[in-house]
Amino acid sequence: MSELHETDPAADPFEQFARWYAEATAASRSDPSAMTLATVRPNGRPSARMVLLKSFDPNGFVFYTNYASQKGNELATHPYAALVLHWPELHRQVRIEGPVERASDEESDRYFASRARGSQISAAVSPQSQVVSSREELESRVAAAEARYAGRTVARPTEWGGYRVVPETIEFWQGRANRLHDRLRFRREAEAWTVERLAP
């Protein structure tokens, strides 16, 4: 089992995340980009689901969804979120917390264009998080869209796009024996990062 000492991680938490993400990609039997996204409902209650990390850089961590979905509505009310990525093969997890902003239209357009056509059609027709009468209704919507877009590019729906979580804290958790785990938290202060060890 690995260890995580104060002198181990890169000074930049994004560089450290890139290292761990590459190692998780090599080691994971499941999708290493899968992460829990936690938001807050208008009534203050927590709400969580799995989404996929599609990109990251020093500006933050990006995922895509329908802006009118439950999570989209929650982020419109409370534009803050928490992310958790868990890589059990490596006994590691990363926790990220911070404000959320929409990705630019250009960024969302580029990602939408890279998706498989079936995924584009699904995004175009699904009223995500809304009640529908049946599976047949969804399949009927898909069939109609496939006919409508036959021989044409599927346009990105205006209500679909990216969100970027801009981290205020990034915690790297390394499992250790006897539950004496290593937890190093990067905390943003102005333009610099402070590294702190947390008790397990």
Q: What is the pLDDT along the chain (200 residues), one digit of tens a residue?
A: 688 988 878 889 999 999 999 999 999 889 999 999 999 999 999 999 999 999 999 999 999 999 999 999 999 999 999 999 999 999 999 999 999 999 999 999 999 999 999 999 999 999 899 999 999 999 999 999 999 999 999 999 999 999 999 999 999 999 998 999 999 999 999 889 999 999 99
Is 131 part of any domain? no
Is 17 part of any domain? yes
Q: Within 13 A of 99's CA, how many CA atoms are on the CB side?
A: 4
Closest-CA residue to 87 (of 53, 62, 57, 48): 53
The predicted structure's pLDDT at residue 191: 82
Ramachandran angles phi, psi of 195, nearest 5°:
-105, 130
What is each CA distance from 171 to 40, 86, 160, 181, 192, in whole angstroms?
20, 12, 29, 12, 15
Is 82 part of any domain? yes
From CA 86, how far away is CA 191, in angstroms rounded?
28
The predicted structure's pLDDT at residue 170: 98
Is 120 part of any domain? no
Is 51 part of any domain? yes
From CA 42, how far away is CA 74, in angstroms rounded?
7
The predicted structure's pLDDT at residue 23: 97
Is 129 part of any domain? no
Range of the domain at 167: 13-109+159-197
Helices of type H across 3-58: 13-27
Tell me which DSSP letter residue 78 carries. Answer: S
Tokens of 148: 């409508």
Is 164 part of any domain? yes
Is 81 part of any domain? yes
Number of domains into which the chain is organized: 1
The predicted structure's pLDDT at residue 1: 65
The predicted structure's pLDDT at residue 79: 98
CB 139, CB 106: distance < 8 Å: no
197 belongs to the catalytic site:
no
| Helix or strand (DSSP H, E) at 73 | helix 70-77
CATH of the domain at 45: 2.30.110.10
Catalytic annotation, pick one of 29, 45, 135, 179: 179
